[in-house]
A and B are shown apart, each in its own frame.
Chain A
Amino acid sequence: MMDPRGPGWSLAAAARALRDGDTTSQQLTRAALARVQSVDAHVRAFVTVTEEEALAAAAAADARIANEAAGPLTGVPLALKDVITTAGVRTTCGSKMLEHYEPVDDAFVTRKLKEAGAVVVGKTNMDEFAMGSSTEHSAFFPTRNPWNLDCVPGGSSGGSAAAVAAGMVPVSLGSDTGGSIRQPAAFCGVVGMKPTYGRVSRYGLIAFANSLDQIGPFAHSVEDAATLLQAIAGHDPCDSTSAAYPAPDFASEFDRGIEGLRIAAPREFFTDADRMEPEVAEAVEAAIAVLEEQGAVVDRDTSLPLAKAALPVYYIIAPSEASANLARYDGVKYGYAYRGGDSMWDDMEKTRQHGFGDEVKRRILLGTYALSAGYYDAYYLQAQKVRTLIRRELRELFSRYQLIVAPTAPTVAFRIGAVSDPYEMYLNDIFTLPASIAGLPAISQPCGFGRDGLPVGLQFVADSWDEVTLFRGAAAYERATDWHTRPPAL
């Protein structure tokens, strides 16, 4: 029987124990549910725990394992960010607007995981509509960092990151629009990965910003992240932006090492970075030294002059897309509905006034402004043009290097309530946004500890569709270090 507390509670270990007959899915699922029962009163990673459905899925998985029809995820308990739809199980998006919403259909990724025999134990907390970097913007409650319960887990996928870090589930799924997988992975000391835009279908991922949103895995190891991504990647005709070609074997270069790998460390993420905590810079510098010991050629004399423009580009494009997407919450078809106003319009305005939280309103208003008559050219169109320039810069860099290395976030986790200014909160994403704007795959993995013993994240970015090299670099670093094996004392 595995001990569901730390990285020993991995997807690979669970799959091995199931295959070897050392445990059953029902035992693993009960262990996960027991761990949720014992620690989630403090961490609050879950919005909904689906015990009944999970135990039924576990029994089915055990039958499948007995019939020797199991895959790498069959019988493994996992969690889904509550922005990913689950048929008949409420999907709240962390919002009062969808508090009681039960989707008609499973998301593409939910369906793929169910077909693979995975056991969904629940839905995890998040910043409302995935807008935020701390999970404090959940309409229900903040999630806490398993390393220090007074700190945030990052966001917006804070619940999924914390559930893995606290050993409740071996793996989980989140979504990343501007850093919402990578930054909470860094804050919680786990692996978090954003695939290339289009690698994973967004069907059933409740839309925040369509041109940026991408689903990806949280795990205790790079290998587990690759295994989970393998199960959800691939073409889906229901998402016209999903890539029409098949996914490669993401683990194919795990053992290759990084001898001779060309890695850029652009100075905008290091010496020219504002507000970086010295402990974060030190941990990432030490990680680069490890990469060099492994034979990688790291070039510090490179530059992405427009890296800093990614933040303003993002805070025009993402809110603009959000303002259009969230127009659907009108109190007519589903979701929270205010009734009793003076008129149909008054009902609609009060539905949105009371159904959305402040951060969601800020972004809708910002996007509405950027798209409105007289401002469209100066804001939205200009942001799209600078997006082109950022992509060109990155494409040029990837003609000379195979990976970019950078910190995931400029700081370690901050205390709950410590960041109240909206723009200060946005600065959390300063290092994750360039990859988001360009649609590139990126990963965050533990690389040490900073202020107050809180985890620091190391980020790699690869060229479009080159997750194989991304995982190659991350696997080599992970094998040379043991940061990922240290669980929080929870």
Chain B
Amino acid sequence: MDLTSAEVRHIALLARIGMTDEEVARFQSELSSVLGHIRVLQEIETTDVPPTANGADLLNVTAPDQPTPSYSRDAVLRNAPAVEEGLFRIRAVLE
């Protein structure tokens, strides 16, 4: 089962990655190939097997609920592409 170009465009939209038609065609082919290889997993019997989310066997790690100093606003804004009045400046979301 290969991905269709419509599926690639849908995934690209979910991931917010812009794409030319040429890129859609290329990723369609490459991702279909990779998915073809990794589909073998679906043949492995996993009834009643619990999922593993990480390798550390940790449960419910908590931290004391104590406020600690954070980074300064200047430090946090230093790498921002655009700043205005101490805020990140972006394009209007609703125009």
Contact = CB atoms under 8 A, between A and B. Distances in A.
10 contacts: A198-B56, A210-B54, A312-B39, A312-B41, A361-B17, A365-B17, A368-B15, A379-B41, A383-B41, A385-B49
A415 interface: no
Contacts of A347: 90-91
B6 interface: no
A312 B33 CA distance: 12
A111 interface: no
Interface of B: 3, 7-8, 11-12, 14-19, 27, 30-31, 33-35, 37-42, 44, 46, 49-58, 61, 63, 71, 75-76, 78-82, 88, 90-93, 95
Q: Identify the 5 closest CB pairs spanning chains A and B, nearest first.
A: A439-B55, A384-B51, A353-B18, A337-B81, A334-B79
B37 A312 contact: yes
B79 A362 contact: no
Contacts of A334: 79-81
B55 A197 contact: yes
A156 to B, nearest CB: 18
Nearest to A319: B34
A188 to B, nearest CB: 26
A388 B48 CA distance: 11
A316 interface: yes
A387 B91 CA distance: 43
B91 A316 contact: no
Contacts of A104: 71, 75-76, 78
Interface string A336-368: 110100011111111011101000011011101
Interface string A422-439: 110010000000000111
A391 B55 contact: yes
Interface stretch (A45-53, A141-149, A325-333, A442-450): A325-333
Nearest to A390: B52
A102 B79 CA distance: 7
B41 A309 contact: yes
A424 to B, nearest CB: 10
Interface stretch (A2-10, A66-74, A237-245, A401-409): A237-245
B53 A211 contact: yes
Nearest to B36: A423
A362 B34 contact: yes
A352 B82 contact: no
Nearest to B39: A312
Contacts of A312: 37-41
